[in-house]
Chains A and B, each alone.
Chain A
């Protein structure tokens, strides 16, 4: 029998009665919260959850809103992508080993998928993993790797069989970012900072126990990661929203208002409200156990809206929009789309239609998987990866 809101609320109260965040170390508090099943209630018991419906997480967040959080901006890739993949494909040992420190933020995760030669066409990736006894030896180069500079672990897709068509020769691993042969170099972004990196893998030895899923099944495992990534970017409820930021400025600074901006703001306000309602409906569907295809829609809509709003914000600010707060080549602690000033938000938003699958690729996915339109003619389907034209 699944728990209802009242039962979850009681667990939260019982937990708070025994754990006073004011008298406890932050990390101890978070570990205890995980052990009480209040980390992510839809996960199984023993793995930070209660096996409850996903929407009941809101009850927990409300009840614990004045307690220390796990700094989700720092560990977004772990929470949004690595965790659901480990849950779906990991062995019991892997789940036990990785999920708790992932959730508490003790161990940061990054995603070693994209490569210089493989972005949208991820399945064409060239990083090789060769088996040697009980180990895999990994060689290759990854790129655009957000948070690699903080990461303890990575989710990694590598080619284990070049003699079969590209989708079939891939295997999914957990990569130890402290292993010899892993080198992380910052890549400076248009914002001035370096949130992402290039990662060189040279003779990196990973025990077979770090393999996630079957050998050759990496593409299927990666799909789970990518689908969760889109929901994480587009569907998550946010504390601070772009429309909230722009509307607040509009209300507090009457001298910036013009009729043409007003018309555009009203339209974007409607779009933002519709996007919010779409996400509410999406979460309701997930909770009711029939996830619709609205997940990829959410990410596409989010990118477009976020870019339009952040563009409007800079323009609206006029002289203040000419300023930029900080071009320092920094390596930020967190990924925060809403952070800093208008100029930063405008530039960072450009990544929203590229990261986690470009908007063009998402439209392909909707057209083919939702609407059932015919796929583009493809030259690479039945050709061994090693024989593909390069």
Chain B
């Protein structure tokens, strides 16, 4: 466990944060997200694509992880993590994680054929989604998590169905790991690219209204091979590591909002925040967030340095997933009745936190990975 680069935020990272935060404060206040969640509950797509275009192009977040040679910013996971924190703090309905992290990272591992698509993704001109379940864990071999599998026929078309996909409703192209029928049995899946127009994307009623899941089906969809699917596992690991920063952002909003509420709200002729039972709960939550920040920063720093980040990601996910849910649950509870209402944004954070807990491996999956990552062997039987 060598010490990575700093766990603090650099000046560049703070500048990026304030640009993203400023834009979100302006274009993505809780009232706006609530309106989109309301629409999503009726079956609409919640994503704010105008906001996404501004973020992607003007601030340049779409190309953060793409090398400069392909028109990207050539930044690292550290910068992407700061963006995730801010998007989490605002539960912003934009396809950053699905397009600029998951799909982009999968393509970066595919080979040279993916180059031109990566350039379009980096510029923000095109948006993509990775057709893998959001509940997939980076610890399960890809061929096992691809069930029912999508197959690439000898005629070059795709057939099959993937459930639990995020960001597909607003993707121009789908990046699809598929079993190649012409290859031998048990071979690694290949990575294909399909125009969204050739796929069927059907939204599913989702717990997280601001990042819903969809089922993506292909029935003889014309596909282009983009190379190997070797980058998919790396994409899942990277996304899991960065998700810890989103969870940190979610938890921070919940803590800050709750602290201001209990300072104002009076019962028994005193602010409810002056009761020790409540002060101690919030102190414990703050403590959990201090740990969550250290864990999330460590994962981002190691992922960013291209070092072995397995332990760091597992630790960050095992810790931050639970911390965000805890923060959101405390937020609802300590707001009393108002916390239970549709009008108050607390539920958006609760739903995001709970969905994030499942996404890319549950805290339990990440803890169990430490059995081998940290050499803590399970009992024999």
Contact = CB atoms under 8 A, between A and B. Distances in A.
| B is bound to A | yes
Contact of B274 (A250, A274, A363, A377): A377
Contacts of B294: 274, 277-278, 280-281
Given A270-B319, A270-B370, A366 B273 contact: no
A371 B270 contact: no
A360 B287 CA distance: 13
Interface centre among A269, A360, A362, A371 (most CB of B within 10 A): A371
Interface stretch (B15-23, B53-61, B278-286): B278-286
Contacts of A360: 280
Interface in B367-381: 367-368, 370-371, 374-380
B298 interface: yes
A281 B274 contact: no
Q: Which applies to chain A's interface (DSSP): helix, strand, loop or mixed?
A: helix
A367 B287 CA distance: 10
Nearest to A266: B367
B12 to A, nearest CB: 16
Nearest to B278: A373
A322 B248 CA distance: 42
B297 interface: yes
A273 B282 contact: no
Contact of B370 (A257, A258, A266, A368): A266
18 contacts: A250-B376, A250-B377, A257-B380, A263-B367, A266-B368, A271-B319, A273-B311, A277-B295, A284-B6, A284-B8, A285-B8, A294-B290, A297-B286, A364-B283, A366-B287, A367-B282, A375-B274, A377-B270
A301 interface: yes
Interface residues of A, number: 44
A274 B368 CA distance: 16
A191 interface: no
Given A266-B368, A267-B367, A273-B315, 17 more contacts: A250-B376, A266-B370, A266-B371, A270-B314, A271-B291, A275-B291, A277-B298, A280-B3, A280-B7, A281-B293, A284-B6, A367-B280, A373-B278, A373-B279, A374-B263, A374-B271, A374-B274
**Size class of the B contact interface (CB-based, 8 Å):** 35 or more
B273 A297 contact: no
Given A280-B3, A284-B6, A374 B286 contact: no
Contacts of A362: 283
Contacts of A270: 314-315, 318-319, 367, 370
Contact of B290 (A269, A278, A280, A374): A278
A281 B278 CA distance: 27
Interface in A346-384: 360, 362-364, 366-368, 370-377
A62 interface: no
Given A360-B280, A363-B280, A366-B283, A372 B295 contact: no
Interface in B252-283: 259, 262-263, 270-271, 273-274, 276, 278-280, 282-283
B377 A257 contact: yes
